[in-house]
Amino acid sequence: MARRLITTLFTLLALSFQAKAASDPAVLDASAVPYVGAKGRAGYADFLLMDLPRAFAVAPDGSFGWSHDGAGIDASRSQALANCAKSGASGCAVYAEDLRVVWPGRESAAPPPPPGPLVQSDIFAIVPDPRYIWRGPQAARGLYVWAHGKSGANADARGEQPPSYVRAFNNAGFDVVRYDREPVHDYADAAADWEQSALRTLRGMGWRRIVAGGQSRGSWNALQMLDEPGLVDDVVAVSPANFGGSLVSDNSAALYSILHAAKAPGARVVVVQFRGDPFVTDLDRRAGLFRDALPPRVGAFMLIDQPPGFTGHGAGNSSAFALKYARCLLHFVDDPVPPAACE
């Protein structure tokens, strides 16, 4: 299939180059939350990992509660207030919702919207997600490019909110974009070609660090980015898989080829796999393949292999996974010396 013409939106890019973040949005400052002590501030830090819509409520006695309810912000507010009052607290009020503080006298505006698609064609686009804080290439610490999975020929996952663990990167200063793909033409090798071309364009926009991540087929494609030295600085591959027409096919031969084609000596790579994944017939064999193939070909490698308490192909999408592993994933990418494992 012939590659379609990529249209880069130069005006929007110029605007994004000029984006400056004098300071992080007020919603990220856990120390500013009223009434609460250390436990409440830790709870607020957990809240900041949650997907939108979300709300956090506090009471004068230090009680707190939060919610991220997919039914909408009204449901999130109501549930946050109910969770705050569970211990018998009175006077619970919402402190923050989504990306802004709403506390009376401390109200903050929502962060300015990000630019439109940075790279776009008729079959794919690199799109800043408006549910994340946008800083621009000159102010951000890096760029996280998240790719959705593929569940069927006509299942359209474009616009899907990246999972909660990605928020740890955004909260720490990384911009977040989605790699959205039109489903009918979304085949693995074609999507890898599109992503490589887009990443070359993104490289020229000024971000200091580029992370390629994703779930399922999206993370399969992220691993394919390792065959071009310097294209990405990091890969976060959660449940990598390429559905090959059989539910029990784990595409071992294709994965072997992808991993042995890697030549990214400066890149840090973390792979996550879960027990009960129907796309992987032998998790232990695949773990061995990752451990044998990647360490000699990349700068650092970590495997989170079948962590207890998490089951199934989509386990990495859960808020529970984010609460346990998001900070470790960030440390692996961002620390001067990456951790060898997540404790």
* Tens-digit pLDDT profile for residues 273-322: 999 998 888 899 999 999 999 999 999 999 999 999 999 999 999 999 99
Shared domain check, 204 and 89: no
Shared domain check, 41 and 129: no
Number of H helices and number of E strands within the chain?
Answer: 9, 13
Shared domain check, 213 and 128: yes
* 298's tokens: 């990349």
Whether residue 9 is contained in a domain is answered as no
* CATH classification of the domain holding 320: 3.40.50.1820
What pLDDT is recorded for position 130? 96
* 274's tokens: 């879960």
On the 0-12 / 13-18 / 19+ scale of CB atoms within 10 A, 265 is: exposed
SS3 266: strand
CA atoms within 13 A on the CB side of 25: 25
Shared domain check, 314 and 200: yes
What pLDDT is recorded for position 117? 97
* Residue where one domain finishes, among candidates 66, 101, 136: 101
Whether residue 36 is contained in a domain is answered as yes
Shared domain check, 199 and 156: yes
* 286's tokens: 């695949």
**pLDDT, one tens digit for every residue, the chain (343 residues):** 333 434 444 333 333 333 334 468 999 999 999 999 999 999 999 999 999 999 999 999 999 999 998 889 999 999 999 999 998 999 999 999 999 999 999 999 989 999 999 999 999 999 999 999 999 999 999 999 999 998 766 789 999 999 999 999 999 999 999 999 999 989 999 999 999 999 999 999 999 999 999 999 999 999 999 999 999 999 999 999 997 545 555 678 899 999 999 999 999 999 999 999 988 888 999 999 999 999 999 999 999 999 999 999 999 999 999 999 999 999 999 999 999 999 7
The rounded distance, in Å, linking the Cα atoms of 10 and 220 is: 30
Q: Which domain holds residue 180?
A: 119-334
Q: Is the peptide bond before 53 cis (omega within 30 degrees of 0)?
A: yes
Shared domain check, 259 and 212: yes
Q: Are 277 and 314 in contact (CB under 8 A)?
A: no
Shared domain check, 305 and 194: yes
Shared domain check, 184 and 38: no
Shared domain check, 72 and 30: yes
Whether residue 316 is contained in a domain is answered as yes
Whether residue 17 is contained in a domain is answered as no
In sequence order, the 6+-apart residues with CB closer than 8 A to the CB of 41 are: 30, 31, 33
Shared domain check, 161 and 38: no
On the 0-12 / 13-18 / 19+ scale of CB atoms within 10 A, 199 is: buried
- The sign one gets for the Cα dihedral 289, 295, 300, 302 is positive
Whether residue 39 is contained in a domain is answered as yes
Shared domain check, 142 and 30: no
Whether residue 184 is contained in a domain is answered as yes
What pLDDT is recorded for position 250? 62
Whether residue 175 is contained in a domain is answered as yes
Q: Are 147 and 186 in contact (CB under 8 A)?
A: no
Whether residue 130 is contained in a domain is answered as yes
What pLDDT is recorded for position 233? 98
What pLDDT is recorded for position 243? 73
Shared domain check, 83 and 223: no
Q: What is the pTM of this model?
A: 0.92
* Residue where one domain finishes, among candidates 101, 133, 166: 101
* Residue where one domain finishes, among candidates 101, 131, 157: 101
Domain count, the chain: 2
Query: Rounded to whole angstroms, what are the CA distances from 14 to 129, 197, 206?
Result: 18, 20, 11
In sequence order, the 6+-apart residues with CB closer than 8 A to the CB of 332 are: 268, 270, 300, 302, 338, 339, 342
